[in-house]
Amino acid sequence: MDCKVAIIGGGVLGTSIAYFLSAHAKSPESVVLIEQEKNIAQHTSSRNTGKVHAPFLYDPAKKKIFAKAASLGYEMWQKYSDYKGLPFKQDGVLEVALDDRGIDRLNTYIEWGEANGLDKSELRLLDKSEVARMEPNVRCSSAIYCSRDASVNYGALTLALLQDVHSFGCKLLLGHRATQISYSKGIYSIATNQGMQIQTEYMVNAAGGNSMDIAHMMGIAESCTDMHFKGEYWQAPPQYQDLTKLSIYSVPRHPEYPFLDPHWIVRADGRREVGPSAVPVFGPYAYTWRKNLADMVPKMIESSRSGARRMVFDRQFLSLASTELKSSLSKTAMINRVRTFLPQIRPATFTHRGTAGIRSSVIDKTGKFVLDTLILERDTSLHVLNYNSPGATGALPMAANIASKLIETGAMPAVKPRSLWNANVIADKMKT
C-alpha cells in the first residue's frame, strides 16, 4: 500500500490526526491510519475518567503544550459533542486541600489557571464554609471550584471521529501492528504482523503506550524510556449516587511523581467511582498479571540501559510505589484514602471494580520524569511521546497542530477543509 501519510495508533490522538489530515487533504485516500487492535480506542482513550480537564493543574512553564491544548480542547470537544449528539456534561470539579500545605498548592493552581487562560469567574478559591454550602458531604480546609470542567465518553467520541474519517476517504487498517520500519530515499516502509508493507512519504507515530517502542525501532529517543502505571477504580454503590454533584479531586502529596491521590469521579453516564491507584507495570497493555509477567524481562533489560535504573532505586519512588500497590491489593486502603474528604463512604459497600487503564510516562537519561508532551521529528517522521493526561482533553488541538505542520511543509497537499475547524487556525492559537 502506497500513501502520503501513515499514522500509527488509532487512539483519540491518532484518530484526531487522521480526522484533520483527511479533511484537509487534496487526496484523502492517501492518508492511512494503522491500529494494532481490531477496533480503535481500545486502551487509554476509552479507559479513563472521561474528564475534559480545565488547565489550572498544569504549570504554564513546565507543561506549556499540555496546558495550551487543554485550554483549547474544552470548546472543541463541546462543539464536536453537540455536532454528533453525544453527551457533554458541564459539571465542574472541586480540588480540595486537607491542610495548610494543600492550601498553598491551591493558590499556585489559581495562578496557573489564570496564566493558562481561565477567567476569574471560572475559577474560585473557597473556604471551608463555602465548600460545605456547595457540597455538604465534603470535608476539607479549602478548595478550588472550577466551572470549566466537563464529563464525556472519549471512546464514543473517538468512534464518532472515525465515522468522519471514513466519510472523508481515509484508509483504515485494523489489526495491523507495526513490526519493522525502514527508511530509504525519502520513503518509509512499515511492515505489519499481517504481512502488509505500507510505503509512505511521511509517518506520524501516535501509538500512545507503544509510541516509545516505535521510536526506538527507528533509533529515536534511545536515551529515554517509559514507565507504565496501571490505574484501577472501584464503582460506588447506588446508595452513594447523590453523595456529591461534582467530581472531587485532592491535592497530590507528591506532584513530582505520577502518583495521583485517589479521587471521587462523577462520570458522564452518572456512575460514581473511586480511584485510581498507580501501580507500576511492565507494559502498556499489562491489565492482567500474566501479561505483566510476560513483559517483565524485556522491560527490565531496557530499563537497565536507560535513566530508569536511577528511578527504580530511588527510595521515595519505591515507597510511593509500595503504597500504590497496597491500594491496588486492598480495597479498604483505596477507599480510606478518599474517606479523608468523603467520610460517609464505607469500604465494605464497594463490591464492583471499575475499568482499569494504563498511563505511560517518559523518563529522560537523568532518571527524571518528562513533564510535558515530547514531540520529536526526524527526516519525514514525527513522534508524539509522553502523551498522557490531559492528553484526551487536548487531542483535537494537538492533532490540528500536527496536521497544520504537515500542510505547511508540503507533506500533505491541502484543499478547503471539510472538518468543523481549519487546522491552520487552531495551530495559530496553539502558538499564541
Q: Give the DSSP per-residue string, 33-80.
A: EEESSSSSS-STTTSS--EE--TTSS-TTTSHHHHHHHHHHHHHHHHH
Does a structural domain hold residue 302?
Answer: no
Selected residue with higher pLDDT from 262 and 237: 237
Cis preceding linkage at 252, omega within 30:
no
Identify whether the C-beta of residue 188 lies closer than 8 Å to the C-beta of residue 128. no
Does a structural domain hold residue 366?
Answer: no
Q: What are the φ and ψ backbone dihedral angles of 217, each rounded to 5 degrees?
A: -60, -30
Q: Report pLDDT for 259.
A: 67
Identify whether the C-beta of residue 206 lies closer than 8 Å to the C-beta of residue 215. no
Crossing angle of helices 12-24 and 395-408, in 10° steps, is 40
Does a structural domain hold residue 252?
Answer: no
Q: Report pLDDT for 327.
A: 86
pLDDT tens-digit map of 50-85: 999 999 999 999 999 999 999 999 999 999 999 999
Identify whether the C-beta of residue 383 lies closer than 8 Å to the C-beta of residue 205. yes
- What is the average pLDDT value for the chain, to the nearest integer? 93
| The three three-digit cell numbers of residue 172, written as one number | 483504515
Q: Report pLDDT for 329.
A: 84
Q: Report pLDDT for 264.
A: 96
- Calculate ∠ Cα 273-275-277, nearest 5°: 155
Q: What are the φ and ψ backbone dihedral angles of 188, each rounded to 5 degrees?
A: -95, 140
pLDDT tens-digit map of 300-352: 888 777 877 787 777 878 787 888 888 888 999 999 999 999 999 999 999 99
**Is residue 422 over pLDDT 90?**
yes
Does a structural domain hold residue 299?
Answer: no
List all residues 6 or more positions away from 297 whose beta carbon is below 8 Å from its beta carbon: none
pLDDT tens-digit map of 204-226: 999 999 999 999 999 999 999 99
Identify whether the C-beta of residue 363 lies closer than 8 Å to the C-beta of residue 370. yes
pLDDT tens-digit map of 95-117: 999 999 999 999 999 999 999 99
Q: Report pLDDT for 303.
A: 79
pLDDT tier at 157, thresholds 50, 70, 90: very high
Q: Report pLDDT for 258.
A: 63
List all residues 6 or more positions away from 295 whose beta carbon is below 8 Å from its beta carbon: 281, 282, 283, 286
Q: Report pLDDT for 253.
A: 82
Structural domain span for residue 407: 1-88+151-224+371-432
**Is residue 355 over pLDDT 90?**
no
| Gap between the Cα atoms of 335 and 387, Å rounded | 28
Task: Note if the pTM is more than 0.75.
Answer: yes
Beta strands in 193-286 (DSSP E): 197-205, 225-231, 234-235, 247-250, 263-266, 272-275, 279-281
Q: Report pLDDT for 63.
A: 93
**Is residue 49 over pLDDT 80?**
yes
Q: Report pLDDT for 302.
A: 81
Does a structural domain hold residue 209?
Answer: yes
Look at residues 381, 393, 90 and name the one whose alpha carbon lies nearest to residue 207.
381
Q: What's 84's domain CATH number?
A: 3.50.50.60
**Is residue 227 over pLDDT 70?**
yes
Q: How many distinct structural domains can be found in the chain?
A: 1
Q: What are the φ and ψ backbone dihedral angles of 391, each rounded to 5 degrees?
A: -60, -45
Q: Report pLDDT for 286.
A: 94
**Beta bridge mates, 8:** 34, 205
| Gap between the Cα atoms of 255 and 316, Å rounded | 13
List all residues 6 or more positions away from 426 whose beta carbon is below 8 Å from its beta carbon: 72, 76, 396, 397, 400, 401, 404
Q: What is the mean pLDDT of residues 262-277?
A: 93
The alpha helices in 116-230, defined as continuous H runs, are 128-134, 154-168, 211-217
Q: Report pLDDT for 261.
A: 81
Helix (H, G, I), strand (E, B) or coil at 177: coil
pLDDT tier at 232, thresholds 50, 70, 90: very high
